[in-house]
Amino acid sequence: MSRYRGPKLRITRRLGSLPALTKKRSKKNDVRPGQHGKTNNDNNSKTTEYGVRLEEKQKLRFNYGLTEKQLYKYIKEARRRNGVTGLILLQLLEMRLDTICYNLGFASTIGQARQIVNHGHILVNNKVVSIPSFQCRINDQIRPKEKSTSKNLVKLNLQNNKSISYLKLLNHLKLDEDKLEATVLDFCDRNDINLEINELLVIEYYSRR
């Protein structure tokens, strides 16, 4: 399944707020999309256990801009490692280069961060990395290229993102705004993740695969 490129507000109306997908807000947030869509608070609508797990999985996939195949690979990798599978899954997603650029404020959404990385504007340890899914490590140094276009792009996004109250620098990242240099200090903590999601339901969704 390819990456979703359709209307983003349609997704947020169905799944709720996904801060890394879009900052826009629909005027129809209380109504689910579709011809027969019901309000999100409709007590008469019943969702099956499978439906609840599916929605949690979709939240994760759309928020981080992943394909179904990519998300399943992260699930398998999280299962392979020792520790709490749900937390490891979130840490793997948060250590992606596009996610880190988003969390630093280099971009207003993960989609924009992916584009910035794809266009070669970002250096990791002084080397150009144009792969959004690149897994960063502790002590990695991340900054824009020395070219004025790259620096100006990042500066503009940093200024614009300061007005977003819920987009704050996470504890596992350190940013020097004057030098436009960032350092990965550690893996993220569960409480630092802005997305409202039950990752255990995502693991349960894939438990039979």
Whether 9 shows a pLDDT value over 60: the answer reads yes
- pLDDT above 90 covers what percent of the chain? 61
Distance CA 75, CA 61 (A): 12
Please give the pLDDT value at position 170.
Answer: 77
Give residue limits of the domains in the chain: 8-92+194-205, 96-186
Residue 16 pLDDT level (bands cut at 50, 70, 90): confident
Please give the pLDDT value at position 159.
Answer: 87
Mean pLDDT of 113-140: 95
Please give the pLDDT value at position 43.
Answer: 46
The DSSP 8-state label assigned to residue 33 in this structure reads: S
Query: Which CATH number is associated with domain 8-92+194-205?
Result: 1.10.1050.10
Write out pLDDT tens, residues 32-84. Answer: 555 445 555 554 556 788 999 999 999 999 999 999 999 999 999 999 999 99
Please give the pLDDT value at position 87.
Answer: 94
Query: What rounded mean pLDDT belongs to the chain?
Result: 85
Please give the pLDDT value at position 144.
Answer: 95
Distance CA 193, CA 102 (A): 12
Query: What is the pTM for the complete model shown?
Result: 0.85
Write out pLDDT tens, residues 81-112. Answer: 999 999 999 999 999 999 999 999 999 899 99
Instruction: Report H helices in the chain.
Output: 8-15, 49-64, 68-80, 85-94, 97-104, 110-118, 148-161, 199-205
Asked: is 96-186 a CATH 3.40.50.150 domain? The reply is no
Please give the pLDDT value at position 102.
Answer: 92
Tell me the two tokens of residue 69.
């195949």
Whether 141 shows a pLDDT value over 90: the answer reads yes
